Structure 1
């Protein structure tokens, strides 16, 4: 089929062609970048926390009354929880991954170092902390009971020994074995010796640039009469244990209130609620844009078919087949779509560049635009198919009598 008659016809409908082309261009630019952002959010949400999320839950306990002894209560609670059927491990802790709140600290290689070598979160746990978190120890050893410090609120954190994640070890001692090395918390002596390395335990802050940097410290620092517990159950028994926790602890000591029990799956869902909402909104925008673009193509093609009924009939009378008419409108749509896609490719990369400069977003991968080309070409051909089929069915005799 010669393109000259098609291009000549398009030049007589410049406004419609430009409007559809611009619509296609904007759709490509927005859809490519929106899909890339959705992909980033989904990758973000799928990051492993390093915790046994399916079998673990946490809760707080807040005592009241003049004679309430928080430290004695913690010891009693740990004993009660450890002996509950279905409980595999229990530990006190100040925070957990993905919770949004915790203790951040700088790690330095030298005392009084002006700028910390890296940042880390601090998880204060007892000797069963790693097992309760489900963190995988890949080097060194776990804490011993005698190493767990009984701290007071306001004490300066100076642990003799610590356990760090692999990310911290790599940052502090790249290419070296970090076991036995000494580091400084908050740049102040005395030093803390690294006795163990865990594969992964994320920070509470999901947007942190150092989200994999975590440090376990042996000890616990009660906040007034409040304490927090992390419990890991035997596989499949989490809900069974949760149903008994408040009753058992209230029987042990009624002078306190048990806070809301949250599973680690609840914590993850709340931590990534914003990412989930963004993905849903962008997905709805993509669907809306593609629908509007398809409807625009359908409307334009239908209008042109109505306008060209006599022309179509004349071509049919001169020997054009139904397939020729169908191919004519599909080719016409392909030309308009291609024009829009070329402009859209420039807009897509320009928008990505703006995102990089304004929000430190990664560069849009090159293959998103070619895939977008193919998808929008296919969408355009599907959208024009209905009007093109109607055009191909115009009877020559009726068309030649139209006025």
Structure 2
């Protein structure tokens, strides 16, 4: 087939072709970035916490009496909670993954690195990070279902009532970050207290309470530090079927032991409820992005199809002449498909550039990750396929125009 008739036709409709190219380009740029954001958000929603989630229930306790011995209060509460039928284990924790409480400490592999970071007033130096730290009562790992991949759990004599902890358990990602050579276990780390903390264990997965930028959500550690705060989480381990009954019994038992406390009803929940509430906005955003992306693709397909229908009506005489001088139906069909392919390809070339520019803006303003390169050819394939499907019906109608009828209509 000669390209001349097609290019000649496109030159006669410059404004229409330009607007369609612009629409395809904007669609390509938006769709590539939206799909990437949706996939990234879905991966974050499904991010493993490192906990045995189906077995866990959580109840938050806020003591009103600030003068009360909170450590003794927590011990008495835990003893009563462990006596509830169905409760296998119970611990007190200062924070949990996907919760609203987070403690973080500037942490370095050596004291010299910590001193250097203090001078620069930044943890963005070699060998230093800002991980989230969890603290809880003995048995926290077993209760939460956190699995050690190296080392051991804390001993009873390592638990302290302040921040001067002698030992720590690191997540595998934090251990790799601080000790790239892989020698974290048995080594020491340093926090703001500037006292050595020995690494006694490493867990495979443990996310921080609040998710931040990509690559930092697994930077966590556990300390053998009992919280003396009046605000505490009690975590109960039980069979999944017993969780609601256990929560009701735990609330009644805690109020019986100390009426001078607050048990927020919305904070008596299973861990799965906690995860669901944390990612509620993300799920809503995914739904909105998917709907907007589908709507944009639909409008683009409608524009391509409408323009093709308009051109078929305008070119009936031209089609008839070409059929009369020997053009087959398949050649007419290919003509319109190729014409659409050229227009969409021009839009995609512009759209790829716009997609990269848009991603750079999102990275700068909202700290989203860099758009992987394979989203660009994937987006191009989607738009090529969409364009061919949208123009197929008008192209088939064009190929069905009889030569005699088209000639007489002239």
State the match for 1:137 in structure 2. Answer: 148
Q: For the residues of structure 2 that align with 1:257 and 1:102, how far apart are their CA atoms?
A: 21
The Cα of 1:125 is off from its aligned counterpart by 0.9
State the match for 2:120 in structure 1. Answer: none
The Cα of 1:66 is off from its aligned counterpart by 9.5
Q: For the residues of structure 2 that align with 1:342 and 1:136, how far apart are their CA atoms?
A: 49
Which of these residues, 322, 335, 343, is aligned with residue 336 of structure 1?
343
The Cα of 1:39 is off from its aligned counterpart by 2.1
State the match for 1:113 in structure 2. Answer: 115
State the match for 1:311 in structure 2. Answer: 318
Q: 1:394 to 1:39 in 2, by over 3 A?
A: same
CA contact (8 A) 2:71 2:226 kept: no
The Cα of 1:182 is off from its aligned counterpart by 3.0
Q: Report the secondary structure of 1:43's partner residue.
A: helix
Q: 1:273 to 1:241 in 2, by over 3 A?
A: same
274-283 or 25-34, which deviates more: 274-283
Q: For the residues of structure 1 that align with 2:256 and 2:93, how far apart are their CA atoms?
A: 22
Q: For the residues of structure 2 that align with 1:253 and 1:275, how far apart are their CA atoms?
A: 38
CA contact (8 A) 1:113 1:187 kept: no
Q: Report the secondary structure of 1:185's partner residue.
A: coil
Q: For the residues of structure 2 that align with 1:161 and 1:77, how far apart are their CA atoms?
A: 26
Q: Report the secondary structure of 1:61's partner residue.
A: strand
Structure 2 unmatched ranges of 5 or more: 118-122
CA contact (8 A) 1:100 1:206 kept: no
CA displacement 1:213-264 (0-9 Å, x = unmatched): 222222323334x432112223543334234322333344444332221322
Q: 1:366 to 1:163 in 2, by over 3 A?
A: closer
Q: For the residues of structure 1 that align with 2:193 and 2:260, how far apart are their CA atoms?
A: 40
CA contact (8 A) 1:62 1:227 kept: yes
How is 1:222-241 mapped onto 2 (pairs within 5 angstroms)?
Answer: 222-224=228-230, 226-241=231-246
CA contact (8 A) 2:188 2:197 kept: yes
State the match for 1:125 in structure 2. Answer: 136
Q: For the residues of structure 1 that align with 2:387 and 2:179, how far apart are their CA atoms?
A: 56
Q: For the residues of structure 2 that align with 1:197 and 1:270, how far apart are their CA atoms?
A: 29
Which of these residues, 155, 164, 172, is aligned with residue 166 of structure 1?
172
The Cα of 1:339 is off from its aligned counterpart by 2.0
Q: What TM-score, normalized to structure 1?
A: 0.88
Aligned Cα RMSD in Å?
2.7
Q: What TM-score, normalized to structure 2?
A: 0.86
Q: Report the secondary structure of 2:106's partner residue.
A: strand
State the match for 2:207 in structure 1. Answer: 202
Structure 1 unmatched ranges of 5 or more: none
58-67 or 23-32, which deviates more: 58-67
354-363 or 285-294, which deviates more: 354-363
CA contact (8 A) 2:329 2:399 kept: yes
Q: For the residues of structure 2 that align with 1:66 and 1:324, how far apart are their CA atoms?
A: 86
Which of these residues, 170, 185, 189, is aligned with residue 183 of structure 1?
189
Q: 1:269 to 1:311 in 2, by over 3 A?
A: same
Q: For the residues of structure 2 that align with 1:272 and 1:315, how far apart are their CA atoms?
A: 60
How many residues are matched?
396
CA contact (8 A) 1:68 1:255 kept: no
Q: Report the secondary structure of 1:237's partner residue.
A: helix
State the match for 2:399 in structure 1. Answer: 392
State the match for 1:285 in structure 2. Answer: 292
Q: Report the secondary structure of 1:228's partner residue.
A: strand
How is 1:84-123 mapped onto 2 (pairs within 5 angstroms)?
Answer: 84-108=84-108, 109-110=110-111, 113-115=115-117, 117-123=128-134
